[in-house]
């Protein structure tokens, strides 16, 4: 279980150099981090266009040299590889392709399987590739025991090939590889452009394994995907399972990821689904090189790095443990039952994954779970806080027992998101900052007790060579005694900076380092620590806050602000007023609720409807800056000029709750993505009300095969908070305003989506003409399938989910979004459109409108 990683090639190679990094030193750091995460598998599609000539000869160039170096470093850490020699892709993305020498040239991918000249070049290249001798290991790829197998071609297309020709093409390339004396397994992709005929042709070839991918939430949404992604990974179906020629072939997932998902929940759930489907190998696409991970420009739809996505990285560690321990064919489900399996739990509501064993405790996000036998723990990995490790920082950390009363502690830098990592980026934009702040850590391990010594293991900053931003700078811990490398410990609490420490129970003698190293996890070295240089101290402060559009009077409204800067500010004050007041009232001093977060809960009282305005003033170093707008000064000053406060509407108890309003909620719309043969529509258009938009949504045409399309409009956290407050109300109903835009009448499948994966719906008959207003009592909704969108790759995976639930009625507290479905009617022409225009959806009580 492991990753794809592309530092030696294409954009990664160029970008690392562009930011002043050294590619080989970046590889050193990333491979160390992968070992730290327990990775034991590596796969990559080699950019053949970079490492071959027009005739298919392998080129001994700088890309191949760096690839050889990477393979040697992986092997040194016990990480095995399966290599895919042919990618076909140009080396430009996300940039334009630079000139390249390779045999694939500008030929369409579909020509690779049918053009005899290209086929000969591929055979020549494959033979030379597997016979290539890695100068760093002294072994050929063919004979290297750390390279387990080969997958011939990344995502081939056989649309121009009849099935028997597909089999012949594969066998021709297999023969070229076997002709070098290769005895290792050879795999071929089965999922790309899958049809039953194509699948049987692949299985009939002289291969030992088949490969498939999984992108369960589509690709490149352009923003973080809202809502619960776990139903999308409930199960992985294998349509070729009963093909006689495939029954005994190995199964490999060459690429997978929960694209555009920020929550640290997808990887363990996907690992469970893979094992249930019988896969033996799975490699995520793609791990971000640490030198450029602060920008997430490699593939904007993917984001995984130990330093920059600590919770997702720990969830990946958990996934690996699950993948290696679950039996093949062991199914759990359907969701939400599948969120708990073996010793793993994933939670969308808590935004956490955790692994709890007698000897291992890992958690991606703070948890209240306690390990069952703390005295038996041998490994702890965390992002957040737990009963075992209380931590004020926002980076990952690891504790490994090296002997009686001896533990190795490694602390990564704080990681602080400042922009949506899945939006379009560039190398000049930072989406996640890192800081080396001093943080408090309280450790509750019976083996250490309440009195222990902490000694710094990694190289002190003063003895370290100057490094580029890519991999720089360890610092001595706060409280270190000069010349001793010892950190002060008060009780069981120590103050740490990023680095590696030896924790030693009082009275325990430190053994020699080789003795300590014998007990380290595979691939982890005793005194190493790799971390990027912190975000420059002169980077402007970032204050992030999402103002609730409305709150209900009587509701306790939580306000949270991210204040991102190298050191904590002197103070943070919240100024509040009602709209129309000339000044602000007495400010509230906000307490930190996290390493870089400040917050408060407002008890919203009063009567009627009015508008609340507020600003945040950060005092630091003798200056006051007020947000939003970063205005110099404080509202307490007579000459304060800030005129752009955050605003929220205070609504009377029992008033209608607007669940969907197109202008407000456009960013929360989720389209279905790719539906083979169909074209869908989702855009804002002018409504009948001046200066207000409506949502035009539906199907432009179904094409020859599509039968259904669905869309969602998810709720903001503020809307969900109002719903939770209104849950005790009775007689609740939904008021939906929409109309048909094409045709005379459309049957619209309308549903409420809940956070537990259930959907409750009805059918609305939308007519063309004036806007239709439907009033739907919640009691009239019935269980309907949840359509799994965005649609996945490959496209043969499940279309919908009927979640396991004993509930007899919808639960307002769990409402998370709306679903609009469009089913193709009998005899509908392929090119017939089916569109509606949605103006609003509200939740009302009784006769309230």
Three-state secondary structure string covering 83-121: EECECCCCCCCCCCCCCCCCCCCCCCHHHHHCCHHHHHH
Residues whose CB falls within 8 Å of the CB of residue 95, separated by 6 or more in sequence, listed in order: 11, 14
Least confident residue range of 318-327, 598-607, 741-750, 821-830 = 598-607
Q: Which residues contact 586 (CB under 8 A, 6 or more apart)?
A: none
**Band of residue 440 on the pLDDT scale cut at 50, 70, 90:** very high
Q: Is the pLDDT of residue 480 over 50?
A: no
Predicted local distance difference test score (pLDDT) of residue 485? 59
What pLDDT is recorded for position 487?
A: 63
Q: Which residues contact 781 (CB under 8 A, 6 or more apart)?
A: 751, 752, 760, 761, 762, 809, 810
User: At residue 3, what are phi and psi to the nearest 5 degrees?
Assistant: -140, 160
Strand order in the sheet with 396-403: 340-341, 344-347, 352-356, 360-364, 379-383, 396-403, 406-411, 499-505, 452-456, 486-487
174, pLDDT greater than 90: yes
CA distance 137 to 523: 17
CA end-to-end span of the chain: 54
Q: Which residues fall within 8 angstroms of residue 168, CB to CB, at 6 or more apart?
A: none
Indicate whether 464 pLDDT > 80: no
Write down the pLDDT at residue 849. Answer: 53
- pLDDT at residue 572 is higher than 50: yes
Q: How far apart are CA 500 and CA 485, in angstroms?
A: 11
Across 677-689, average pLDDT: 94
pTM confidence score: 0.95
Residue 478 has pLDDT above 50, yes or no: no
The residues, any chain, with a CB within 8 Å of residue 604's CB and separated by 6 or more, are: 551, 552, 553, 554, 555, 556, 557, 612, 650
CA angle 409, 411, 414 (to 5 degrees): 165
Write the secondary structure of 763-826 as one string of H (helix), E (strand) and C (coil).
EEEEEECCCEEEEEEHHHCEEECEECCCCCECCCCCCEECCCCCCCCCCHHHEEEEEEEEECCC
Sequence-ordered strand ranges (E) for 197-296: 209-214, 250-256, 281-284
Which tokens sit at 666? 């456009």
pLDDT computed for residue 484 by the predictor: 40
Look at residue 48 and tell me whether its pLDDT is greater than 50: yes
Q: Which CATH class is domain 657-845?
A: mainly beta
pLDDT of residue 848: 53
- Statement: residue 406 has pLDDT above 60: yes
Cα separation, 760 vs 593, whole angstroms: 36
Tokens of 180: 């070098």
- pLDDT for residue 581 is more than 50: yes
Give CATH superfamily name and number for 2-304+314-327: Glycosidases (3.20.20.80)
Does the pLDDT at position 320 exceed 50?
yes
Statement: residue 482 has pLDDT above 60:
no
Domain boundaries, the chain: 2-304+314-327, 360-517, 542-651, 657-845
pLDDT above 90 covers what percent of the chain?
A: 88
Q: In this predicted model, what pLDDT tens digit does every residue of 76-119 receive, in sequence order?
A: 999 999 999 999 999 999 999 999 999 999 999 999 999 999 99
Q: What is the pLDDT of residue 463?
A: 36
pLDDT tens for residues 210-221?
999 999 999 999
Token pair listed for 554: 């009587």
pLDDT (0 to 100) of residue 642: 84
Given 3-state DSSP classes, what are the helix, strand and coil percentages for the chain, each rounded to the nearest 5?
A: 20, 30, 50
Backbone conformation region of residue 554, classed left if phi is above 0, alpha if psi is from -120 to 50, else beta: left
Check: CATH 3.40.50.300 for 542-651? no
Residue 449: is its pLDDT beyond 80? yes
426-444 burial code (b ≥16 CB/10 A, e <16):
eeeebbbbbbbbebebebe
Mean per-residue pLDDT, 125-153: 99
Q: Please, what is the average pLDDT of the chain? A: 94
Q: How far is the CA of 616 from the CAs of 547, 548, 596, 644, 757, in angstroms? A: 12, 15, 14, 11, 37
Reported as a single tens digit per residue, the pLDDT across 354-383 is 999 999 999 999 999 999 999 999 999 999
H, E, C per residue of 306-334 = CCCCHHHHHHHHHHHHHHHHCCCCCCCCC
Q: What is the 3-state secondary structure (H, E, C) of 488-515?
A: CEECCEEEECCEEEEEEECCCCCCCHHH
Banded model confidence at residue 847, pLDDT cuts 50, 70, 90: low
* pLDDT exceeds cutoff 60 at 477: no
């Amino acid at each position: 279980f492991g990753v794809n990683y592309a530092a030696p090639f294409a954009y990664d190679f160029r970008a690392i150099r562009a930011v002043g990094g050294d590619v080989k030193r970046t590889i050193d750091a990333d491979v160390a981090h992968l070992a730290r995460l327990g990775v034991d598998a590596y796969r990559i599609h080699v950019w053949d266009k970079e490492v071959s000539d027009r005739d298919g000869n392998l080129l001994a160039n700088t890309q191949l040299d760096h690839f050889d170096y990477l393979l040697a470093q992986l092997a040194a850490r016990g990480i095995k590889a399966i290599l895919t020699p042919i990618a076909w892709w140009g080396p430009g993305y996300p940039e334009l392709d630079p000139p390249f020498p390779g045999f694939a040239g500008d030929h369409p991918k579909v020509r690779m399987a049918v053009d005899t000249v290209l086929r000969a070049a591929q055979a020549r290249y494959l033979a030379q590739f597997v016979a290539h001798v890695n100068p760093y290991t002294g072994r050929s790829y063919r004979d290297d025991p750390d390279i387990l197998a080969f997958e011939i071609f990344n995502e081939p297309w056989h649309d121009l090939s009849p099935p028997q020709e597909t089999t012949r093409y594969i066998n021709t390339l297999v023969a070229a590889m076997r002709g070098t004396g290769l005895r290792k397994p050879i795999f071929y992709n089965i999922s790309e452009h899958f049809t039953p005929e194509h699948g049987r042709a692949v299985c009939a070839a002289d291969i030992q394994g088949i490969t498939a991918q999984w992108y369960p939430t589509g690709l490149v949404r352009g923003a973080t995907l809202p809502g619960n992604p776990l139903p999308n990974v409930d199960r992985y179906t294998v349509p070729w399972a009963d093909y006689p020629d495939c029954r005994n072939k190995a199964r490999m997932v060459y690429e997978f990821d929960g694209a555009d998902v920020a929550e640290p929940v997808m990887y363990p759930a996907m690992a469970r689904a893979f094992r249930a489907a019988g896969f033996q190998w799975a490699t995520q696409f793609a791990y971000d090189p640490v030198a450029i991970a602060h920008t997430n420009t490699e593939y904007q739809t993917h984001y995984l790095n130990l330093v920059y996505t600590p919770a997702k990285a720990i969830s990946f560690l958990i996934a690996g443990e699950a993948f290696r321990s679950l039996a093949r064919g062991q199914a759990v489900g359907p969701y939400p039952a599948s969120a708990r399996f073996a010793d793993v739990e994933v939670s969308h509501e808590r935004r956490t994954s955790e692994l709890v064993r007698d000897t291992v405790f890992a958690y991606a996000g703070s948890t209240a779970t306690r390990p069952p036998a703390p005295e038996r723990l041998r490994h702890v990995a965390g992002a957040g806080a737990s009963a075992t490790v209380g931590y004020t920082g926002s980076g990952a950390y690891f504790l490994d027992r090296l002997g009686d009363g001896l533990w190795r502690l490694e602390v990564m830098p704080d990681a602080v998101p400042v922009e949506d990592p899945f939006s379009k980026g560039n190398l000049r934009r930072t989406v996640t900052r890192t800081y080396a702040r001093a943080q408090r850590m309280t450790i509750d391990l019976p083996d250490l007790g309440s009195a222990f010594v902490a000694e710094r293991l990694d190289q002190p900053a003063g003895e370290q060579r100057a490094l580029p931003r890519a991999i720089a700078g360890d610092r001595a811990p706060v409280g270190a005694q000069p010349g001793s490398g010892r950190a002060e410990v008060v009780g069981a609490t120590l103050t740490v900076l990023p680095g590696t420490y030896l924790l030693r129970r009082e009275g325990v003698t430190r053994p020699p380092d080789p003795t300590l190293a014998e007990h380290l996890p595979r691939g982890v070295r005793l005194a190493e620590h790799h971390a990027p240089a912190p975000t420059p101290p002169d980077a402007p402060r970032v204050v992030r806050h999402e103002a609730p559009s409305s709150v209900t009077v009587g509701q306790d409204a939580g306000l949270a602000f991210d204040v991102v800067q190298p050191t904590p500010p002197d103070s943070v004050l919240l100024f509040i007023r009602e709209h129309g007041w000339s000044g602000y009232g007495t400010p509230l001093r906000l307490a930190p609720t996290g390493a870089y977060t400040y917050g408060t809960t407002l008890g919203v009282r009063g009567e009627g409807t009015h508008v609340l305005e507020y600003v945040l003033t950060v005092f630091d170093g003798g200056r006051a800056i007020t947000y939003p707008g970063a205005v110099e000064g404080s509202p307490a000053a007579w000459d304060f000029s800030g005129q752009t406060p955050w605003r929220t509407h205070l609504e009377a108890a029992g008033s209608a709750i607007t669940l969907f309003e197109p202008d407000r909620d456009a960013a929360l719309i989720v389209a279905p993505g790719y539906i083979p043969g169909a074209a869908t529509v989702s855009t804002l258009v002018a409504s009948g009300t001046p200066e207000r938009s409506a949502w035009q949504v539906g199907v432009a045409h179904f094409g020859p095969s599509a039968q259904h399309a669905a869309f969602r409009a998810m709720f903001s956290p503020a809307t969900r908070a109002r719903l939770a407050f209104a849950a005790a109300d009775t007689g609740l109903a939904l008021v939906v305003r929409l109309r048909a835009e094409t045709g005379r009448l459309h049957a619209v499948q309308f549903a409420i989506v809940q956070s537990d994966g259930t959907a409750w719906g009805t059918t609305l008959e939308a007519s063309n003409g004036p806007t239709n207003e439907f009033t739907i009592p919640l009691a009239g909704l019935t269980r309907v399938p949840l359509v799994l969108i965005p649609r996945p790759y490959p496209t043969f995976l499940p279309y919908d989910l009927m979640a396991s639930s004993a509930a007899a009625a919808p639960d307002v507290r769990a409402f998370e979004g709306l679903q609009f479905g469009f089913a193709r009617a009998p005899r509908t022409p392929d090119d017939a459109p089916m569109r509606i225009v949605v103006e609003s959806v509200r939740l009302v009580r009784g006769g309230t409108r």
